[in-house]
Amino acid sequence: MISEARLPRPVAQAIDELSKLPSIGPKTASRLVFYLLKQPPAQAEALSAALVSLHARLDYCAVCHTITESNPCAICADEQRDHQQICVVSEPLDCYALEKTGQFRGVYHVLQGEISPVDGIGPENLKIKELIDRVKDSRPSITEIVLATNPTTEGETTAMYLAKILEPYKIRITRIAHGVPVGGDIEYADEITLSNALLHRQQFISQ
């Protein structure tokens, strides 16, 4: 990569800012900046406007805490959804991934992260109190909480913590199944994935 000391200040600044994004190092940031330099100014302006609008036009839903342009969000405001069933996810993007399946007709609750003592993230840093308040104030009463946190150490820790604090409310608590992905090879699967696949195995019925 070209030394930033020899780069024009605007280029070096753009590289520095892009390098702060997840999974983007200085080399990738440099390629992105020089790609944009080759494009018409309108493309860079459109990108800049889109980034600015992220904070200018978006907010967090007062009910489920996902990102939204309206408050409450479209899902929370939809009377056709099953508001007695809440799917708890870690991040807003998880909601969209689950919605693509078309298999869930309830509503969501976004924790905005997962419990991770190593990173200094405890239950008090997440939207867990807000979840408990939803359970307490729900009319009609919530009948099921679906724990859909990630199949990682942090995700499992968060799911177990939630199951424990929700136990007194006598609500059905379920956990999404985790296993070997379709099209994947067992030899490349990690131990946690294989353990979950065996733990949640089902009876095989031939057609």
CATH tag for 60-175 (out of 3.40.50.880, 3.40.1360.10, 3.10.20.30, 1.10.3720.10): 3.40.1360.10
Q: What is the pTM of this model?
A: 0.80
State yes or no: pLDDT of 205 exceeds 70.
no
Give kind and range of the element (H or E) at residue 118: none
Nearest-angstrom CA–CA distance, 4 and 16: 9
- Compute the radius of gyration of the chain from its Cα atoms: 22
Among 39, 19, 43, smallest CA distance to 29 is for 19
According to DSSP H, which parts of the chain are helical? 9-19, 26-38, 41-57, 74-77, 92-99, 128-137, 153-166, 191-199
Among 143, 144, 156, 142, smallest CA distance to 90 is for 156
Query: Fold for domain 4-56?
Result: Helicase, Ruva Protein; domain 3 (1.10.8)
Q: What is the pLDDT of residue 173?
A: 94
pLDDT band at residue 192 under the 50/70/90 scheme: confident
Tell me the percentage of the chain whose pLDDT exceeds 90. Answer: 72
Nearest-angstrom CA–CA distance, 106 and 94: 14
Q: Where are the domains positioned within the chain?
A: 4-56, 60-175
State yes or no: pLDDT of 172 exceeds 90.
yes
Averaged pLDDT, 4-29: 90
Higher pLDDT, 6 or 148: 148
Which residue type does 204 have?
F
